Amino acid sequence: MPPKIRGMSTNLPPQSGSSRRFTLMLSGEDAIQADLEKSVPPSGLPQECFLLGDKLPIAPVLLLGQSTLAVNPNDVVACLQPVHLHATRDHLILMAQSQIDLTENESIKLLQVALPLIEEDFGNKILFQGQRDWFISAGPFASLATHSIDQAHGRNIDWWMPRDTNEAGIAKLWRKLQNEIQMLWHIDPVNEEREQRGYPTINSLWISGIGKLADIQTPQLLNNVNNIYGNHPLLTGLAKHLDIPHQHQIDLLGLQNAFAWIDYPENIWDSLREALLNNDLDEIAIIDFPKSQVRQRIFTAKALNKKSWAFWKKSAPLTWQEIISA
């Protein structure tokens, strides 16, 4: 059993104007086991839902972060991503984009081949082409229910493919376009060169994040944030949307009233603990998602040591593992 943590609030109270709080959000997993009996997978990773709301307008947020375009808040945008589907004995698995090492030049060439088909079926021009992400007004595909690669990668794609919502036949239309592009890319020189270099081929196109900026529902805690830290692509666009300064790396001199979502949060814990003990911060808020449910906790300086019944012994500081396991 993890140790009892004292001096901790399990509900995140509103931040007063005088308090100096640092908020750290951890990544979570979807409650996939709880949804196995359902006909559809869970919608979005918990951190995606927490930051953007239930409608999950991921595509326009990514577009805002990657481009200098003035994104119409009511334009329904889709994100298209060239991917590799790995074939096993009886199903296909979606590989994460970080595993395929797609170059900018390869991305340009692959889009050139697929562009006529994409723009014909979407009825729109490509808005912006990033190295891994291509953006387009969703047009007839606006009603599709989709899932981000972050959520679907490493899994059997049968359950994660786009689904119809309020209009029948849209998912079938997407699969037709997807299949046509797959056939074009199968014989493309880009993939021949990638195979020769030992890289996975780009053999499919993924669609996700369909939505509009007007659908963003940010958590109230971001109303009091002066800085946003983290290198997740969502943060760049979200910070721009909220007009909050954003940096990939945490500035230890700018911890007060900041929000962070970073890889390896355990690496920053000692610095945060020191800031509390030195009275540079009043409190640290930790947001995580055990069993896919939002958990928000406040830690003050008196909560940093284990509570012990042996009052004559000096209490030991809580480890990061003990904090996240509590």
Mapped onto helix, strand or coil, the DSSP state of residue 317 is strand
Residue 298's pLDDT band, with cuts at 50, 70 and 90, is very high
Check whether residue 207 and residue 230 sit in a common domain.
no
Greater model confidence, 292 or 248 = 248
Check whether residue 297 and residue 173 sit in a common domain.
no
Q: Which structure tokens are listed for 277? A: 């003990």
Of 51-60, 152-161, 248-257, the poorest mean pLDDT is in 152-161
- The per-residue pLDDT for 16 is 54
- Asked whether residue 40 is domain-assigned, the answer is no
Check whether residue 84 and residue 175 sit in a common domain.
yes
Check whether residue 117 and residue 259 sit in a common domain.
no
Residue 209's pLDDT band, with cuts at 50, 70 and 90, is very high
Asked whether the predicted pLDDT for residue 1 surpasses 80, the reply is: no
CA dihedral (316, 317, 322, 324) in degrees, to 10, reads: 170
For residue 308, count other CB atoms closer than 10 A to its CB: 13
Please write the tens of the pLDDT for every residue from 12-31: 555 555 579 999 999 988 76
Check whether residue 187 and residue 276 sit in a common domain.
no
Show which of 215, 239, 261 is a domain's final residue.
215
- Asked whether residue 47 is domain-assigned, the answer is no
Asked whether the predicted pLDDT for residue 323 surpasses 90, the reply is: no
Asked whether the predicted pLDDT for residue 320 surpasses 70, the reply is: yes
Taking only Cα atoms into account, the Rg of the chain, rounded to an integer number of angstroms, comes to 22
Greater model confidence, 77 or 39 = 77
pLDDT more than 90, % of the chain: 71
Mapped onto helix, strand or coil, the DSSP state of residue 150 is helix
Check whether residue 300 and residue 171 sit in a common domain.
no
Q: Which structure tokens are listed for 14? A: 């509103």
Check whether residue 84 and residue 168 sit in a common domain.
yes
How many whole angstroms separate alpha carbon 78 and alpha carbon 71? 13
Please write the tens of the pLDDT for every residue from 142-152: 999 999 999 99
- Asked whether residue 2 is domain-assigned, the answer is no
**Averaged pLDDT for residues 75-88:** 94
Greater model confidence, 304 or 128 = 128
- The per-residue pLDDT for 302 is 81
* Average pLDDT value for the chain: 88
Cβ pair 287, 26 in contact under 8 A: yes
- The per-residue pLDDT for 278 is 92
Asked whether the predicted pLDDT for residue 67 surpasses 70, the reply is: yes
**Averaged pLDDT for residues 208-216:** 97
Greater model confidence, 321 or 38 = 321
Of 203-217, 269-283, 308-322, the poorest mean pLDDT is in 308-322
CA angle 270–275–281, rounded 5-degree value:
135
Asked whether the predicted pLDDT for residue 104 surpasses 90, the reply is: yes
- The per-residue pLDDT for 18 is 57
**Averaged pLDDT for residues 302-315:** 62
Check whether residue 187 and residue 316 sit in a common domain.
no
Mapped onto helix, strand or coil, the DSSP state of residue 172 is helix
Give the predicted TM-score (pTM) of the model: 0.89
Cβ pair 61, 216 in contact under 8 A: yes
Asked whether the predicted pLDDT for residue 201 surpasses 60, the reply is: yes
How many whole angstroms separate alpha carbon 84 and alpha carbon 16? 48
Asked whether the predicted pLDDT for residue 313 surpasses 60, the reply is: no
- The per-residue pLDDT for 307 is 63
Mapped onto helix, strand or coil, the DSSP state of residue 118 is helix
Show which of 194, 215, 236 is a domain's final residue.
215
Residues 6+ apart with CB under 8 A from 249: 229, 231
Show which of 174, 191, 215 is a domain's final residue.
215
Query: In terms of residue numbers, what domain contains 266?
Result: 8-29+217-325
Number of domains in the chain: 2
Residue the block writes with tokens 């911890």: 255
Q: Is 304 exposed, middle or buried (0-12, 13-18, 19+ CB in 10 A)?
A: buried
- The per-residue pLDDT for 305 is 67
Residues 6+ apart with CB under 8 A from 323: 5, 269, 286, 299
**Averaged pLDDT for residues 234-256:** 96
CA angle 168–49–70, rounded 5-degree value:
80
Residue the block writes with tokens 């060439």: 109
Check whether residue 69 and residue 208 sit in a common domain.
yes
Residue 4's pLDDT band, with cuts at 50, 70 and 90, is very low
- The per-residue pLDDT for 325 is 80
Closest CA to 318 of 270, 256, 259: 270
CA dihedral (312, 314, 315, 320) in degrees, to 10, reads: -160
